[in-house]
A and B are shown apart, each in its own frame.
Chain A
Amino acid sequence: MKKLLIIPLIFLLTGCWNYRELNQLAITTGIAVDKENDNYKITIMIANSKKSSSSDGSITPSAAVYDGTGQTIYEAFKDTSLSVSKQIYLSHIDVLVLSEEIAKNNLTDVIDFLFRYPQTRNNFYLVLAKDKKASDILKVTTPIETFPSQNLAKNLEITDKLQGFTYTVDFTDFTKSLVSEGINPILPSVTIIGNSEEGNKEENVQQNEPSTYLKLDMLGLFKKDKFVAWSNPNQSKGINIINNKIYILGVIINYQNEKIVTEITEMKTDFKVENNKVKITIDTTGAIQEVNANVDLYNLKTIEEIQNSDVEKIKEYVNDAINLAKDNKTDIFGFGNYVYKNNPKKWNEIKDKWDDEIFPSLEVEIEVNLKLQAKGSINNIVEVRE
Chain B
Amino acid sequence: MDQELDKIINHIKTINGNSTDINVRYFNIHNQKVAFMFLESVANDDKISNFLGKSLSISVRSKKNLFEDLFNHINNTIPNSKVKIINNYDDIFYHLASGFTCVFIDGYNKAITLETKALLDRSITEATSEPVLKGPKDCFIENILANMGLIRKRIKDPNLYFEETKVGRRTKTKVVIGYIKDIADEEKVNLLKQKLEKINIDGIIDSNYIKELLCNNQKSFLPRVISTERPDLTAMGLLDGKIAIIVENTPYVLLLPTVFVDFFKSPEDYYTKPFNASFTRILRYIAFFIAILVPAFYIAVTTFNMEIVPSSLLISFSIQRESVPFPTIIEVLILVISYEILREADTRKPQIMGASISIVGALILGEAAVSAGIISPIVVIVISISAVSGMGFNDPDITNAIRTWRILFMLAACLFGIVGIVILFIIFITKLNSIEVLGTPYLAPLSPFSLKDFKNSLTRFPQQKIKTRPTYFNKKNINRIGSDK
A residues with a Cβ closer than 8 A to B are 11, 14, 16-23, 25, 27, 29, 47-48, 51, 57, 59, 61, 89, 91-92, 94, 121, 146, 150
Contact = CB atoms under 8 A, between A and B. Distances in A.
A59 B303 contact: no
Contacts of B446: none
Contact of B303 (A11, A20, A89): A20
Closest 10 pairs (CB-CB, A-B): A48-B318, A92-B311, A23-B321, A91-B307, A47-B315, A61-B319, A22-B302, A22-B318, A48-B315, A22-B321
B303 A27 contact: no
Interface string B86-122: 0000000000000000000000000000000000000
Contacts of B314: 22, 27, 92
A92 B308 CA distance: 9
Given A14-B415, A22-B314, A61-B316, A51 B306 contact: no
Nearest to A11: B415
Given A51-B319, A61-B316, A29 B311 contact: yes
B307 A16 contact: no
16 contacts: A11-B415, A17-B416, A20-B304, A20-B306, A21-B328, A27-B315, A29-B315, A47-B315, A48-B319, A51-B319, A51-B322, A61-B315, A89-B306, A92-B307, A92-B315, A146-B312
A166 B322 CA distance: 38
Contacts of B416: 14, 17
B179 to A, nearest CB: 37
A51 B320 CA distance: 10
Nearest to B417: A18
Of the listed residues B315, B322, B415, B416, the one surrounded by the most CB atoms of chain A closer than 10 A to its CB is B315
B328 A22 contact: yes
A248 to B, nearest CB: 26
Given A14-B415, A18-B304, A89-B306, A94 B315 contact: no
A59 B304 contact: no
A150 B314 CA distance: 13
B306 A25 contact: yes
B417 A23 contact: no
B51 interface: no
A11 B414 CA distance: 11
A340 B404 CA distance: 60
A23 B316 contact: no
Which of B311, B328, B371 gathers the greatest number of chain A CB atoms within 10 Å? B311
Contacts of B327: 21
A94 B311 contact: yes
Which of A19, A59, A89 gathers most chain B CB within 10 Å?
A: A19
A291 B317 CA distance: 50
Interface in B354-391: 371
Q: Which of A11, A14, A48, A121 lies at the interface centre, i.e. has the most chain B CB atoms within 10 A of its CB?
A: A48
Contacts of A48: 315, 318-319, 322
A155 to B, nearest CB: 15
B438 interface: no
B319 A59 contact: yes
A29 B328 CA distance: 23
Contacts of A25: 306, 318
Contacts of B124: none
Contact of A23 (B304, B307, B324): B324
Contacts of A61: 315-316, 318-319
A16 B416 CA distance: 7
From A89, A91, A94, A121, name the one whose CB has the most chain B CB atoms within 10 angstroms.
A91
Given A11-B415, A17-B416, A22 B312 contact: no
Contacts of B311: 27, 29, 47, 92, 94, 150
Nearest to A10: B415
Contacts of B306: 20, 22, 25, 89, 91-92
A290 to B, nearest CB: 36
Contacts of B328: 21-22
Q: Find the residue from A16, A18, A23, A94 having the highest chain B CB count within 10 A.
A: A23
B328 to A, nearest CB: 6
Given A18-B417, A61-B319, A92-B314, 10 more contacts: A17-B416, A23-B318, A25-B306, A27-B318, A48-B315, A48-B322, A51-B322, A89-B306, A91-B306, A146-B312
A146 B306 CA distance: 20
B308 to A, nearest CB: 9
Contacts of A146: 312
Nearest to B304: A18
A150 B316 CA distance: 14
Nearest to B319: A61
Interface in B289-331: 302-304, 306-307, 311-312, 314-322, 324, 327-328
A19 B304 contact: yes
A25 B315 CA distance: 10
B313 to A, nearest CB: 10
Nearest to A91: B307
